[in-house]
Chains A and B, each alone.
Chain A
Amino acid sequence: MAEDRRVLTGEHFMSGDHACAEGGLAAGCSFFAGYPITPSTEIAERMSERLPEVGGMFIQMEDELGSMNAILGAAWGGWKSMTCTSGPGFSLMMENLGLGIVLETPTVLVNIQRGGPSTGLPTLPGQADMMQARWGSHGDYEIIALAPNSPQEIFDLTVRAFNLAEEFRTPVLVMSDECVGHMTEKVVIPPKDELEITPRRYTKKKPGEYLPFDFGEDEIPEMVTAGDGYRIHITGLTHDRRGYPVINAEAQDWMVRHLINKILKNKHRIIQLEEINLSDAEVVLVSYGISSRVAHRAMDLAREDGIKAGMLRLITVWPFCDEKIRELAERVKAFVTVEMNMGQVALEVERCACGKAGTYLVPHAGGEVHNPDDIYQVIKEAAK
Chain B
Amino acid sequence: MNRSASSTTDVVDKQSHPMSDLLRMDRMPHIWCSGCGLGTTLTCFIMAVRESGIDEKKIAVVSGIGCSGRVAGYINLDSFHTTHGRAIPFATGLALANPELRVVVYSGDGDLVAIGGNHFIHAARRNMDILVICVNNFNYGMTGGQAGPTTPVSARATTAPYGNYEYPFNIPYLSIASGATYVARWTALHMRRLKNSIAEALPKKGFRVIEIICPCPTAFARRNRLGTGLDLMKYYHDNSIIKHGADPREADIGMTGKIIVGKFLDIERPTFRDFLVENVWPKIGRK
* Direct touching of A and B (C-beta under 8 Å): yes
The interface stretch among B85-93, B149-157, B249-257 is B85-93
* Given A33-B93, A71-B93, A236:B284 Cβ within 8 A: no
Contact partner, B93, options A65, A81, A233, Cβ 8 Å: A81
**What CA separation (Å) do A227 and B99 show in the bound complex?**
10
Q: Which residues of chain A are within 8 angstroms of B86 by Cβ–Cβ distance?
A: 65-66, 69, 95-96, 99
* Given A66-B122, A69-B93, A75-B93, A236:B82 Cβ within 8 A: yes
Q: Taking the complex as formed, is B196 at the interface, i.e. its CB lies under 8 A from any CB of chain A?
A: no
Chain A residues at the B interface, C-beta cutoff of 8 Å = 1-2, 30-31, 33, 52-53, 55, 57, 59, 61-63, 65-79, 81, 95-96, 98-99, 103, 225-237, 244-245
Using A69-B89, A225-B98, A233-B73 as known contacts, list a sample of 18 further A-B pairs with CB atoms less than 8 Å apart, ordered by residue number in A.
A52-B284, A55-B286, A61-B122, A69-B92, A70-B93, A72-B82, A76-B93, A77-B101, A78-B97, A81-B93, A226-B60, A227-B57, A227-B101, A234-B81, A235-B72, A236-B81, A236-B83, A244-B27
Q: Which residues of chain A are within 8 angstroms of B95 by Cβ–Cβ distance?
A: 73, 77
A227 and B60 within 8 A (CB): yes
Query: Considering only CB atoms, which chain A residue lies closest to B93 in the complex?
Result: A73
A182 to chain B, nearest CB (A): 27
A73 and B24 within 8 A (CB): no
The number of chain B residues with a CB under 8 A from chain A is 43
A293 to chain B, nearest CB (A): 36
Q: Can you report 28 A-B residue pairs in the complex whose CB atoms are below 8 A from each other?
A: A2-B285, A30-B97, A31-B93, A31-B97, A33-B93, A57-B276, A59-B92, A59-B96, A66-B122, A69-B90, A69-B93, A70-B93, A73-B89, A74-B96, A75-B93, A76-B80, A76-B97, A77-B94, A79-B97, A81-B93, A96-B86, A226-B101, A227-B58, A227-B60, A227-B100, A231-B76, A236-B82, A244-B26
**What CA separation (Å) do A236 and B78 show in the bound complex?**
15
Question: How many residue pairs between the two chains, A and B, have CB atoms under 8 Å in the bound complex?
Answer: 151
**What CA separation (Å) do A99 and B96 show in the bound complex?**
20
A39 to chain B, nearest CB (A): 24
Contact partner, A53, options B91, B94, B284, Cβ 8 Å: B284
B287 and A1 within 8 A (CB): yes
What are the 5 closest A-B residue pairs judged by CB atoms, nearest first? A73-B93, A77-B97, A74-B93, A70-B93, A66-B89
